[in-house]
Structures are given as structure tokens and as C-alpha cells.
């Protein structure tokens, strides 16, 4: 998995500071993890949006804080506005590159199913993400599943049929 780069700066933790950050087109964030103190951050909304469009939510990120210290992090959670869907807050989790990471990886169907095309069926995907464990450098951004093998309504693809890359369990 490729690593993304993102810049952040330390911020105040007060409610008024959060309002000011959002007015400046920045997003409040927090960095936490084992053996570090929580750090309140702010990130430029434009930079974060570009990162999410390019790498998705399963990216490993080299987070540079105040142009000084770079930390390998994982995007733990994104809080969005319930109506407008804009990002309200981000949680970053400091990870150890030598320890397995548990995360969910999206499942993306590729190809075209003859059962859908010729028999006018509907593709029902019961799992949109799979829970996996792997070292951070072994993670993939998504599972691409070839659905062209679904020729009749009785055909199915099970989790055990999905080939796992080396190092992912």
C-alpha cells in the first residue's frame, strides 16, 4: 500500500478554537496511539479532501506536524455532518510498522456478471468490507472481485473464494 503525505499543525482544544478552525476551512483532528500523548491538530480541508479522493480511507499516512515531526498514522475515524456530509473531525491513530494492524478493506466487484446482464438479475453484495489483519506495509486499498464467474442465479462468491495477498489474514 502506498503511503500518503499530509501536513498538520497543533491546535487549541477549546470549543471556540474548533469554530475558528472550521471558519478557516480547516478540519480539527486528534492524534493518539500507544506511548504518545494525545495531540490536537488542524488540517487544511483541501489537503485532506485530495488525500481521501486519491487514497481513500484505508491509507497509511506520513503525518508531518508543524513541519517538524513525521509520524506514521492510520485514519481511524471520520465524523461527518449528518445532513451536509462535510467532514467535522478526524481521528488519526499512530501505528507501529512492525505490528499487525486490524482494519476493514472494501470489496469492489469488477467485470460484468452474465446472470445480471443476460438474465436480468440483480447483484446482491452482502459484504462491502472485509475485516483483515496484516502488517501496515502488506495492506491493500481494496479487494477486486471478478463477478464474471456468476453465470446463473445459483452461483455465488464466498469469502473463502477471495484470494488473499501474502501477509493478509
Note whether residue 168 is domain-resident. no
Q: What is the pLDDT of residues 143-159, one digit of tens each?
A: 999 999 999 999 999 99
Summarised one tens digit per residue, pLDDT across range 82-97 is: 999 999 999 999 999 9
Residues 70 and 105 both lie in one domain: no
pLDDT confidence of residue 98: 93
Average pLDDT, the chain: 92
- Please indicate, yes or no, if residue 86 is contained in any of the structural domains: yes
Residue 143 lies in a domain: yes
Stronger pLDDT, 127 or 165, i.e. the higher one: 127
CA atoms within 13 A on the CB side of 131: 1
Where residue 72 falls among pLDDT bands split at 50, 70, 90? very high
Question: Could you tell me if 42 and 108 lie in one domain?
Answer: no
Query: How large a percentage of the chain has pLDDT more than 70?
Result: 100
- As given in the structure block, the three cell numbers for residue 66 are 508543524
pLDDT at 158: 92
Specify whether 73 is located in the same domain as 135. no
Grid cell digits, residue 164: 488473499
Read off the pLDDT band of 133 (50, 70, 90). very high
Single residue among 76, 94, 112 that ends a domain in this structure: 94
One domain for residues 9 and 83: yes
What is the spatial distance between Cα 53 and Cα 75, in angstroms, rounded to a whole number? 14
Confidence of residue 46 (pLDDT cuts 50, 70, 90): very high
Residue 166 lies in a domain: no
CATH of the domain at 80: 2.40.240.10
Q: CB neighbours (10 Å) of residue 1?
A: 15
Does residue 167 lie in a domain region?
Answer: no
Domain count, the chain: 2
Domain co-membership, 56 together with 139: no
Do residues 107 and 78 both lie within one domain? Answer: no
- Any idea what DSSP says for residue 159? G
Q: What pLDDT shows up at residue 140?
A: 87
Parent domain of 131 = 101-161
Amino acid at each position: 500500500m502506498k503511503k500518503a503525505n499530509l501536513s498538520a499543525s497543533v491546535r487549541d482544544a477549546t470549543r471556540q478554537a474548533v469554530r475558528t478552525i472550521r471558519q478557516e476551512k480547516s478540519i480539527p483532528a486528534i492524534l493518539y496511539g500507544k506511548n504518545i500523548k494525545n495531540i490536537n491538530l488542524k488540517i487544511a480541508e483541501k489537503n485532506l479532501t485530495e488525500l481521501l479522493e486519491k487514497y481513500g480511507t484505508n491509507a497509511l499516512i506520513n503525518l508531518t506536524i508543524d513541519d517538524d515531526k513525521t509520524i506514521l498514522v492510520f485514519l481511524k475515524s471520520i465524523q461527518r455532518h449528518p445532513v451536509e456530509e462535510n467532514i467535522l473531525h478526524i481521528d488519526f491513530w499512530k501505528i507501529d510498522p512492525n505490528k499487525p494492524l486490524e482494519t476493514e478493506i472494501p470489496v469492489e466487484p469488477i467485470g460484468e456478471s452474465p446472470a445480471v446482464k443476460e438474465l436480468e438479475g440483480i447483484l446482491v453484495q452482502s459484504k462491502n468490507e472485509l475485516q483483515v489483519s496484516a502488517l501496515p506495509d502488506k495492506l491493500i486499498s481494496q479487494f477486486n472481485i471478478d463477478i464474471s464467474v456468476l453465470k446463473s442465479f445459483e452461483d455465488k462468491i464466498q469469502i473463502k473464494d477471495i484470494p488473499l495477498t501474502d501477509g493478509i489474514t
